[in-house]
Amino acid sequence: MVMKKYLQAASSIMPNESGLPRYSPPALLEALQFLEEELTNRGFVFQTKPASQAEGTLKLTVSDTNGIGMIAQVKLFPMLASETMETISQANNRIDFIREYTLPGGTVTLPLPSARYLLEVSKGPSYKIVKQEIFINANEELNCQISLPQMADWSGEGWYAGDLHHHSVYSSPLHGGTDDVIESPQQVAFSMEAAGLAYGALSDHHNIKNHQQWLATATSSFLPIVSKEISTTNGHVLSLGVHSDVIYKIPKQEERTEPYLRQEHIRTSDEIRALGGLPQINHPCDRNPAISLDPKFRDMVEIFDTIEIWNGSNPMIPGTPNYDAFNFWMSLLEEGRYVAATSGSDTHNIWVDDFHGLLEKFSWIIASGNQLVDSLPAERQDIIRYLIEVLQETTPIMEEWAENRLGSGCVQTVIQVEQALTVESTLNALRKGHSFLTSGPLLKVSLEGKGPGETLITDKTSVSVDITLLSNVPLDRLCLFTNGEQRTYFTLTNRLVDTESEAQGVEGVYDYSLQLPDIAAGQVKWIVVTVEKGREFRAISNPVFIEAR
């Protein structure tokens, strides 16, 4: 399952890296299994590195700048003897970090193998990132205190970050599901808060058994929203904010007609809406037809209030299902059809150790496979060569993504509500698209004071576009999309502020805020703004619309 998940993501970003023909993820997985078996049969041995048996203890306390303990995300990256604080973050062909979180009060005690680590403490896009080199010695306890500064607080303007798509143990076979998930609702809530989220939906498969426990996680700083991910024969539908168990009636084979399937989708969405909830289509362009929206039903996408265009199970890079979903959503805007965009981490493992040890094994497969490929049956050689190239070319991208943008809140839907953050105000903001999607940057887009999901009615011939863009990591460029498939790119030059903090192990703050050149109000009907680092999207706004007075 882990290799399948990795290959699904890695192979999807390969077409833009190579001109080789593309093979499907199932075909690549079968080729990988064949190659691994062939290597073993021919005496090639993969040796895992023994873990350190000696353990010490890290006792960590994280507080805000006022000394108040806080829930925060903690990552520990084991460092080789040759690695420094500067080089550890570079691609090194391994994924072996440890992900934890501090509990309410700000503390966590962790038994750890004796080693040198890069300790990274964070709390989502609104906080800076603190990094520190630590040593865990055998049979010793290290007490470490971290003060985590806030980078920006937009809650005063009604902005709140959330995750709409997350799973718990109630998606596992223990409760009638099929996914290997072990986390309790309370663990998920802590994990979400550690990622800086103010609201979150626990959307388990097939049942609503988590609802009571999920609602019990509410605090003054976290709003739990009940949900369910409904499996249909043509995609996954989110029943957001509904306490009842909405059931999609899967037909018998002889009743499986297009009119029935269409009507059942409509009935399910109408029922969710009638119960005060929000119907959403999840991962509409997934490579697995069973969980994606059948292309022949895309003409009825408006039966949903929102569409998940950014799913955390794969990067937002050209070639991926996420990028396909983004392009589908943009095509709807071109046709004058607006369904507000959302994101969701789709986390099934809050510890994000899915890919641990995988890159080391892939390195062995690449090196050994290159020695073996010419002696394989002729019909196998092309796909094996392509498989090896996929693993080689995508490893740096996949490693960086898995270490930094995977897990609870790895991609967030940041909404703006008019008054207090409640379930009702959250659903209203999501429906209207008063939001942006992000895996890091904070992005505000304004047309003469109008934001995402709003319409500027003007008699001006041109209007200004104001961008507020803050980030705790450097970014590369911004793109302004407008109707007519027009796009304009702007290079983001590093504008690092608060450089004094860097000397104290606190990552700097990058302020890329700018005013874009005026746009022709008579020609432009809407704008969408994206932010990129390398080939990967890091933030996407919902559209701001323009109408002539």
Report the candidate in 547, 330, 337 with the shortest Cα–Cα distance to residue 448.
Answer: 547
C-alpha torsion 100→106→111→112, nearest 10: 60
299 DSSP assignment? G
Alpha-carbon distances, residue 514 vs 214, 445, 470, 479 (angstroms): 41, 10, 11, 12
> Could you tell me where the DSSP H helices lie in 238-347?
258-274, 321-334
pLDDT score, position 503: 47
**Architecture of the CATH domain 55-147:** Sandwich (2.60)
**Total residue length of the chain:** 549
In the beta sheet, which residues pair with residue 89? none
pLDDT score, position 505: 60
Burial (0-12, 13-18, 19+ Cβ within 10 Å), 428: middle
Distance CA(417)–CA(249), nearest Å, equals 35
pLDDT score, position 504: 54
Q: How is residue 300 written in tokens?
A: 């009825």
Which residues make up the CATH 2.60.40.1120 domain(s) of the chain? 55-147
Contact 166, 203 (CB under 8 A): yes
pLDDT score, position 398: 92
Mind listing the pLDDT tens digit of every residue in the chain (549 residues)?
A: 788 889 988 888 876 555 445 788 899 999 999 999 999 999 998 888 776 678 999 999 999 999 999 999 999 999 998 998 888 877 788 899 999 999 999 999 999 999 999 999 999 999 999 999 999 999 999 999 999 999 999 999 999 999 999 999 999 999 988 888 999 999 999 999 999 999 999 999 989 999 999 999 999 999 999 999 999 888 899 999 999 999 999 888 888 899 999 999 999 999 999 999 999 999 999 988 889 999 999 999 999 999 999 999 999 999 899 999 999 999 999 999 999 999 999 999 999 998 998 999 999 999 999 999 999 999 999 999 999 999 999 999 999 999 999 999 999 999 999 999 999 999 999 999 999 999 999 999 999 999 999 999 999 999 999 999 999 999 999 999 999 889 999 999 878 776 555 545 677 899 999 999 889 988 999 999 999 999 999 999 999 999 988
pLDDT score, position 438: 99
Paired sense of beta strands 306-311 and 340-344, if any: parallel
Sorted by sequence, the CB contacts under 8 Å of residue 416 that are 6+ apart come out as 157, 158, 159, 160, 429, 434, 435, 451, 452
Give the end-to-end CA distance of the chain in Å, rounded to a whole number.
Answer: 55
Which residues make up the CATH 3.20.20.140 domain(s) of the chain? 154-351+407-436
Phi then psi dihedrals of residue 154, to 5 deg: -100, 5
Phi then psi dihedrals of residue 469, to 5 deg: -140, 110
Distance CA(81)–CA(506), nearest Å, equals 23
DSSP string for 79-130: --TT--TTTTTS--S----EEEEPPTTSEEEEEEESEEEEEEEE-STTB--E
Which residues make up the CATH 2.60.40.10 domain(s) of the chain? 441-549
DSSP string for 154-200: -GGGTEEEEES-B--GGGSGGGT--S-----HHHHHHHHHHTT-SEE
In the beta sheet, which residues pair with residue 443? 469
Angle ∠(14,16,17) on CA atoms, nearest 5: 65
In the beta sheet, which residues pair with residue 529? 480
- Position of tokens 């379930």? 423
Sorted by sequence, the CB contacts under 8 Å of residue 290 that are 6+ apart come out as 233
CATH class of 441-549: mainly beta
pLDDT score, position 316: 96
Distance CA(454)–CA(543), nearest Å, equals 8
Distance CA(60)–CA(474), nearest Å, equals 28
pLDDT score, position 493: 86
H/E stretch holding 231 reads strand 229-232
Q: How is residue 27 written in tokens?
A: 């075909």
pLDDT score, position 502: 52
Q: How is residue 6 written in tokens?
A: 């990795």
The CB density around residue 149, as the number of other CB atoms within 10 Å, is 16
493 DSSP assignment? -
pTM to 2 decimal places: 0.95
Report the candidate in 184, 280, 202 with the shortest Cα–Cα distance to residue 238.
Answer: 280
Distance CA(219)–CA(196), nearest Å, equals 14
Distance CA(516)–CA(376), nearest Å, equals 57
Distance CA(45)–CA(50), nearest Å, equals 15
For the stretch 268-275, contacts whose Cβ atoms lie closer than 8 Å and that sit 24 or more positions apart, written own/partner, are 268/230, 268/232, 268/237, 269/237, 269/303, 269/304, 270/303, 271/246, 272/237, 272/239, 272/240, 272/242, 272/246, 273/305, 275/242, 275/243, 275/244, 275/246
Contact 389, 7 (CB under 8 A): no
C-alpha torsion 298→302→303→306, nearest 10: 100
The angle that helices 378-404 and 358-372 make with each other, rounded to 10 degrees, is: 160
pLDDT score, position 195: 99
CATH superfamily of 154-351+407-436: Metal-dependent hydrolases (3.20.20.140)
Using DSSP's 3-state secondary structure scheme, residue 7 falls into helix
